[in-house]
Structure 1
Amino acid sequence: MKSCRRSFMLTVVGVASSLMLPYEAWADAAPVLESDTNAQALGYRTDARKVDRAKYPKFQPGQACANCQFFQGKAGDATAPCTIFAGKLVNAKGWCSAYVKKA
């Protein structure tokens, strides 16, 4: 339960802080590293094929940052800002446990 609460709080903080950044700020953004604290808490992988399915059973094949509602890029972008990882870019082929399919 502690891990779920921590992931939720990191998600809330990420979304709230990303709303404060102007779009131009993303131009110089660094990529999210799998070793980043927030990335580790959310199980972020730059390649969704490498997700630990035993640890993240909600992961389904076909899920990727590119088709997540938090991905701020256009179709075909290799990387783009993500509202979960404020100020950083995620790989379109990546995945984290905050994944929510785009509507």
Structure 2
Amino acid sequence: MIDSSRRKFVKKGLFGLAALPFGMGALTSNAFAALPMLDPNAPNAKALAYVPDAANASSHAAFKAGSACSNCNFYNAGTGACPLFAGHAVESNGWCQAWVKKP
């Protein structure tokens, strides 16, 4: 004879596992929300000499002609995000001194 409390536990456990993907989708929906734009006056932006328009960085010693966030290895074109500025989006034609050419 099977203990009814064990049977209930197994049923609820299986239901919970089946519902898990749906719950995770709801919990991670904030990850796809639009990110706020990076303020050029923010401390981390100033530390990396970030400018929203790469043309304004031409006098910087690390600037290379043609470099912009859009062709940087760190830039995510889908979200506009850069891991160097966590939680913020950057302008695609922006620039900072951490620019690395996309392979």
TM-score w.r.t. length of structure 2: 0.66
Identity of aligned residues (%): 38
Alignment of 1:1-103 (within 5 A): 24-51=30-57, 53=59, 56-74=60-78, 80-103=80-103
Q: Any stretches of 5+ residues in structure 2 without a counterpart?
A: 1-27
How many aligned residue pairs are there?
Answer: 76
Q: Are the counterparts in 1 of residues 81 and 89 from structure 2 also a CA contact under 8 Å?
A: yes
Larger-Rg structure? 2
**Structure richer in strand, relative to its length:** 1
Shift of 1:27: 2.1
Q: Are the counterparts in 2 of residues 25 and 87 from structure 1 also a CA contact under 8 Å?
A: no
Higher relative contact order at CA 8 Å, sep ≥6: structure 1 or structure 2? 1
State the partner residue of 2:5.
Answer: none
Q: Any stretches of 5+ residues in structure 1 without a counterpart?
A: 1-21
Q: 1:90 to 1:52 in 2, by over 3 A?
A: same
Q: Are the counterparts in 1 of residues 67 and 95 from structure 2 also a CA contact under 8 Å?
A: yes
**Structure richer in helix, relative to its length:** 2
